[in-house]
């Protein structure tokens, strides 16, 4: 039995005993008072009758008439005249009368009517005595009325006491519920503080809980800082803070292979010439300042292009990956001009060479090697020219004018709208995500659109940029969720759908999504929703709203492509997410990189403390998978997993 119920039982029992005792005491006291009144009344009436009878000079007839007249008033059970020897001379009697009091009440609370006795005489001659016994029904009626009044008063007192007890118990219960909710939130990895109640004992408890939560929050923040330091150490260059070569290339490769990655990718390579000679001439410290200035210039430019990636490939080489088509040439020229202003102020005679290449993602396989080769060739030609030269290689990989993207905005808008309006031209793919035992956790289900009638079902890499411009991502995501729920209802397999950050920014998307999921509550328990890590940074409030509205329905919500910007999420422990999927760039090459493996272990431990599952996407090699399992990751997906666990 709960504490609140025990308190209620104690209060109710105490109230009932107190009220019953009070009412019983009042009724018994009233009965005793009535019995005394009846006894006195009998004595007084007997004395009055004897006095009146003494005035008739012993006339028997007159005495009998007097006694009969008194008896006929109806208040007496018996009136008797006894001679001096105690024999009955005259008697009038009647059975006990019933009044308004219930028979059970009369039987349980009898009122004794002791006979009243008075001596009857004629002067000095004794004529006997008069005995009077009053009816008790009138006393029982008064006692019954008094009992009803006592019950009413006690009932009113009970109601008032009950209302007061309800207020007190609810006050205690609210404080206890707040404490329970705080503890449950802590188990779920959320650090919630509550207001201190006015009850001293619970106030001390709440203060202690709040103090513990704040300490745990500080421990988490400290641990998060340590994890971020490990990430920086494992993935970023110490001097410039830019990603190292391995991590940079892994992120580019992940973008090229991701369904929702950019349709075109540009790469700008920059080389600071004669670094060894500069180091000898300027000194180590001055050369470091020069390299840091180059990195700072690149970082300033990249801030203006969303999703761009920077990296330091080696001591003198830098790279900028641009996830936007048609800006690579412009970016290379702009960076060369900016560096032409910065570098001479720090190292006269120093210069950079810039090579630029851009490719289309129509064929995603082995794109990274081709992109690097083209950019390296462009850089070599730039080095053969003047200082700060820029060379661009035309790849010839852009889509022809016969492609969808080459037919103009009206054409692709029409094709996207047509595909969305026809449900048969929208389909979910399926890729397994498994745990360490090989059991299927869920199917990754990215959307495929048939943009042209009888054409192939294209991945998001082909149409996502167009859908973003057409503001059609919300409709596509809603259809993806509907298809996933239908499939879960058919076979019971759990499925995961990724939501676009643009959909999350749509004010009407969440209400429509909640209505869609609420209509299929049974299947909702098998639905997983991926939200991009960048959306958690840019639309944190919407992410919280999404988790608050859908998690009670059984839907699991998490972050995908995560690991690089988790530190930028405002309050990860308050997001309400169930899981995090590490970006393919985090998993790539993990098997041979002890520093990054240590970072992943620390990140898994941190998120595990928040009751957040950790999974990894884009796993290509067995050694990386083994390293991820060793780090404590809960699930894996990617080409290696699909090869071992094909979806039937």
Q: Is the pLDDT confidence value at 399 over 80?
A: no
The mean pLDDT value for 613-627 works out to 93
Q: Is the pTM above the cut of 0.75?
A: no
Give per-residue pLDDT as tens, 300-355.
998 888 888 999 999 899 999 988 777 888 999 999 999 999 999 888 888 999 99
Domains of the chain (ranges, CATH numbers) = 3-160 (3.30.450), 245-393 (3.30.70.270), 405-644 (3.20.20.450)
Q: Is the pLDDT confidence value at 71 over 90?
A: no
Give per-residue pLDDT as tens, 227-252.
888 888 888 898 999 999 988 988 88
Nearest-5° Cα angle at 344, 338 to 349: 125
Q: Is 366 helix (H, G, I), strand (E, B) or coil?
A: coil
E strands, 411-488, where? 426-428, 431-434, 440-444, 447-450, 457-458
Give per-residue pLDDT as tens, 29-55.
988 898 888 889 889 888 988 888 888
Q: Is 407 helix (H, G, I), strand (E, B) or coil?
A: helix
pLDDT of residue 395: 56
Residue carrying structure tokens 């209400």: 511
Q: Is the pLDDT confidence value at 217 over 80?
A: no
- Confidence band, pLDDT 50/70/90 cuts, at residue 400: very low
Query: Two tokens at 348?
Result: 């006269």
What are the Cα distances from residue 343, in Å, to 278, 282, 295, 304, 605?
A: 12, 13, 11, 21, 43
pLDDT of residue 402: 39
What are the Cα distances from residue 421, in Å, to 134, 424, 426?
A: 99, 9, 9
Averaged pLDDT score across all residues of the chain:
86
- Confidence band, pLDDT 50/70/90 cuts, at residue 1: low
pLDDT of residue 271: 92
- Confidence band, pLDDT 50/70/90 cuts, at residue 394: low
The mean pLDDT value for 527-534 works out to 93
Q: Cα(193)–Cα(574) distance, rounded to whole angstroms?
A: 12
Q: Is the pLDDT confidence value at 489 over 90?
A: yes
Q: Cα(362)–Cα(406) distance, rounded to whole angstroms?
A: 13
- Confidence band, pLDDT 50/70/90 cuts, at residue 432: very high
What are the Cα distances from residue 112, in Å, to 32, 47, 103, 145, 258?
A: 9, 20, 16, 18, 100
What are the Cα distances from residue 110, in Å, to 30, 32, 100?
A: 12, 10, 15
């Amino acid at each position: 039995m709960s504490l609140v119920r025990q308190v209620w039982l104690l209060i109710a029992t105490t109230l009932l005993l107190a009220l019953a005792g009070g009412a019983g005491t009042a009724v018994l006291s009233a009965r005793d008072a009535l019995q005394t009144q009846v006894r006195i009344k009998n004595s007084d009436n007997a004395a009055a009758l004897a006095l009146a009878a003494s005035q008739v000079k012993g006339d028997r007839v007159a005495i009998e008439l007097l006694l009969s007249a008194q008896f006929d008033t109806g208040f007496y059970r018996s009136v008797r005249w006894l001679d001096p020897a105690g024999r009955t001379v005259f008697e009038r009697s009647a059975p006990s009368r019933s009044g308004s009091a219930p028979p059970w009440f009369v039987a349980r609370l009898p009122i004794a009517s002791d006979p009243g006795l008075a001596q009857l005489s004629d002067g000095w001659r004794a004529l006997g005595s008069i005995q009077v016994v009053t009816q008790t029904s009138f006393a029982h009626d008064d006692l019954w009325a008094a009992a009803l009044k006592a019950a009413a008063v006690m009932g009113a007192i009970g109601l008032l006491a009950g209302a007061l007890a309800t207020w007190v118990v609810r006050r205690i219960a609210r404080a206890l519920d707040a404490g329970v909710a705080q503890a449950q939130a802590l188990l779920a990895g959320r650090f919630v503080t509550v207001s201190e109640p006015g009850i001293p004992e619970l106030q001390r408890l709440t203060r202690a809980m709040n103090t513990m939560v704040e300490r745990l929050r500080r421990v988490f923040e400290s641990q998060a800082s340590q994890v971020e330091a490990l990430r920086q150490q494992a993935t970023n260059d110490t001097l410039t803070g830019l990603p190292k070569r391995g991590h940079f290339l892994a992120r580019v490769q992940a973008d090229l292979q991701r369904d929702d990655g950019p349709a075109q990718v540009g790469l700008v390579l920059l080389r600071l010439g004669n670094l060894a000679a500069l180091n000898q001439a300027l000194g180590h410290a001055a050369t470091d300042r020069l390299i840091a200035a180059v990195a700072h210039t690149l970082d300033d430019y990249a801030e203006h292009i969303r999703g761009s990636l920077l990296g330091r490939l080696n001591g003198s080489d830098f790279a900028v990956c641009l996830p936007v088509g048609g800006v690579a040439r412009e970016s290379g020229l702009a960076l060369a001009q900016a560096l032409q202003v910065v570098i001479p102020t720090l190292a006269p005679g120093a210069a950079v060479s810039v090579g630029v290449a851009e490719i289309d993602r129509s064929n995603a396989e082995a794109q990274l090697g081709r992109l690097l080769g083209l950019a390296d060739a462009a850089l070599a030609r730039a080095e053969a020219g003047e200082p700060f030269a820029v060379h661009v290689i035309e790849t010839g990989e852009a889509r022809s004018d016969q492609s969808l993207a080459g037919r103009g905005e009206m054409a692709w808008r029409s094709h996207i709208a047509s595909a969305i309006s026809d449900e048969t031209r929208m389909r979910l793919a399926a890729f397994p995500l498994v745990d360490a035992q090989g059991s299927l956790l869920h199917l990754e289900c990215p959307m495929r659109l048939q943009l042209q009638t009888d054409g192939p079902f294209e991945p998001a890499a082909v149409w996502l940029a167009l859908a973003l411009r057409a503001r059609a991502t919300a409709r596509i995501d809603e259809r993806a969720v509907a298809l996933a729920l239908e499939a879960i209802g058919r076979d019971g397999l759990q499925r995961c759908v990724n939501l676009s950050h643009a959909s999350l920014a749509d004010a009407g998307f969440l209400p429509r999504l909640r209505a869609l999921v609420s209509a299929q509550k049974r299947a909702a328990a098998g639905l997983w929703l991926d939200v991009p890590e960048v959306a958690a940074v840019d639309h944190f409030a919407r992410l919280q709203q999404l988790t608050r509205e859908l998690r009670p329905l059984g839907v699991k919500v998490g972050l995908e492509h995560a690991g690089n910007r988790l530190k930028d999420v405002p309050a990860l422990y308050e997001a309400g997410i169930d899981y995090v999927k590490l970006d393919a760039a985090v998993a790539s090459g993990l098997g041979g990189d002890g520093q990054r493996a240590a970072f992943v272990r620390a990140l898994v431990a941190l998120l595990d403390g928040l009751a957040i599952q950790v999974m990894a996407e884009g796993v290509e090699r067995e050694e990386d998978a083994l390293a991820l399992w060793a780090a404590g990751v809960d699930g894996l997906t990617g080409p290696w997993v699909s090869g071992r666990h094909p979806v039937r």
